[in-house]
């Protein structure tokens, strides 16, 4: 798939809801792709997040203050249309803040999904760079939590399972209802089905606004 095709798919995903994608994944037997309800936009007005997963993994490690060269090197690998997906065991720790967000955005990264903490929320808000994370914290990672890998399979906390595996190249979608992971092999068929479901719901809303009862609308269009 060339870069333009990938961007076209990304833009189309921005027009469907995570709820419809979740329903389609259920129909395909992928029942545990939703992420934990703690994942939320920072700031609350961050908007939708959609992009191809670029994974970054870290762990709690004591080391001298002065920066995390491995974190900076990992971020250098980001490409346009990708979402940086952060995983690790750093409870209470901020994985990144404003300056790294700016650097990721400069590389064409379209947002971040963080199974951990973020800070500088007010300043990130000015970057038009959607970030979804489990919490915010002022506590920096330097000297406490260190990146130890990128573009490897990672585990993020799940909604219906303890963890959801995210592989490089999977697709990430997040909106007001939460965040969900679409495995790479399913990205295109799930999108097509979600678009069909989205159009079906649009038609139902038109009918309801015209005075049709919900019961009659469901008779006409079927279950949604």
166-195 pLDDT per residue, tens: 999 999 999 999 999 999 999 999 999 999
> Confidence band (pLDDT; 50, 70, 90) for 65?
confident
pLDDT at 218 exceeding the cut of 80: no
pLDDT at 113 exceeding the cut of 70: yes
Q: Give me the domains of the chain, ranges plus CATH numbers.
A: 3-184 (3.50.30.40)
Helix (H) or strand (E) holding 214: helix 214-221
Mean pLDDT of 118-128: 94
Taking the C-alpha atoms of residue 76 and residue 37, their distance in angstroms, rounded to an integer, is 30
- For the chain, the maximum distance between any two Cα atoms, rounded to a whole number of angstroms, is 67
Collect all residues with Cβ–Cβ distance below 8 Å to 216 and sequence separation of at least 6. Answer: 207
30-51 pLDDT, tens per residue? 999 999 999 999 999 999 999 9
Taking the C-alpha atoms of residue 164 and residue 178, their distance in angstroms, rounded to an integer, is 14
Helix (H) or strand (E) holding 46: none
Alpha-carbon distances of 73 from 92, 103, 117, rounded to whole Å: 23, 11, 20
> Confidence band (pLDDT; 50, 70, 90) for 221?
low
Side-chain-facing half-sphere of 217: CA atoms under 13 Å = 16
Lowest mean per-residue pLDDT among 9-13, 61-65, 119-123? 61-65
Taking the C-alpha atoms of residue 114 and residue 92, their distance in angstroms, rounded to an integer, is 12
Mean pLDDT of 76-84: 96
Taking the C-alpha atoms of residue 190 and residue 133, their distance in angstroms, rounded to an integer, is 24
Mean pLDDT of 91-116: 95
Total residues belonging to the chain: 224
**What per-residue confidence (pLDDT) applies to 202?**
78
Mean pLDDT value across the chain: 92
Q: What share of the chain is helix, strand, coil (3-state, %, to 5)?
A: 35, 30, 35
3-32 pLDDT, tens per residue? 999 999 999 999 999 999 999 999 999 999
Taking the C-alpha atoms of residue 178 and residue 36, their distance in angstroms, rounded to an integer, is 8
Mean pLDDT of 124-137: 95
């Amino acid at each position: 798939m060339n870069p333009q095709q990938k961007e076209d798919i990304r833009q189309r995903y921005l027009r469907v809801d995570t709820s419809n994608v979740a329903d389609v994944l259920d129909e395909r037997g992928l029942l545990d792709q939703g992420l934990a309800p703690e994942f939320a936009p920072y700031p609350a007005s961050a908007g939708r997040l959609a992009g191809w997963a670029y994974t970054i993994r870290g762990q709690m490690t004591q080391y001298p203050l002065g920066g995390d060269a491995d974190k900076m090197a990992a971020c250098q690998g980001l490409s346009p249309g990708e979402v940086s997906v952060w995983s690790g065991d750093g409870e209470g720790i901020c994985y990144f803040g404003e300056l790294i967000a700016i650097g990721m955005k400069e590389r064409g990264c379209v947002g971040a999904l963080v199974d951990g903490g973020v800070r500088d929320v007010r300043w990130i808000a000015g970057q038009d760079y959607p970030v979804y994370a489990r919490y915010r914290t002022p506590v920096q990672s330097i000297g406490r939590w260190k990146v130890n890998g990128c573009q490897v399979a990672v585990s993020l906390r799940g909604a219906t399972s303890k963890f959801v595996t995210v592989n490089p190249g999977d697709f990430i979608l997040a909106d007001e209802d939460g965040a969900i992971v679409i495995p790479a092999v399913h990205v295109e068929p799930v999108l097509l089905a979600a678009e069909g479901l989205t159009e079906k719901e649009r038609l139902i809303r038109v009918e309801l606004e015209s005075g049709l009862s919900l019961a009659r609308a469901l008779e006409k269009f079927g279950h949604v």
